[in-house]
Amino acid sequence: MLSYVLNNWRRHREDRGEYATKLLDKFSTAVLFDGWRDFDRSQWLIPRDYEPLVVWEARTWLLREGWRRHGLISVYERPAHALHPHVARKLARQAAAHVSR
């Protein structure tokens, strides 16, 4: 889910053409995300025309920290079309188990 939100521009091939040299979508909250595998935020030059978006703290364990168990996200990752229903159910059960703790 995080990859979809942060890298959806790649799925729609918006990282081609004019933005081909960009690692992150300047119209998303990707620049504020601290879970990139291959990107150091301290080296990111925020574009002059960047307007920070409103960002809310994650309220669920899965969005706060649980996703990190599967590894950090690559800036080059292209979101898949959809999770297989079996995988989606398994992730939902894992998240529910951690919330109830």
Beta strands in the chain (DSSP E): none
Task: Confirm whether pTM is higher than 0.95.
Answer: no
| CA dihedral sign of residues 28, 68, 20, 43 | positive
pLDDT at 14: 67
Helix, strand, or coil (residue 4): helix
Of residues 99 and 77, more confidence is placed in 77
Distance of CA 23 to the CA centre of its chain: 13
Interval 59-96: pLDDT, tens: 999 988 998 998 898 887 777 655 667 777 777 787 77
pLDDT at 80: 67
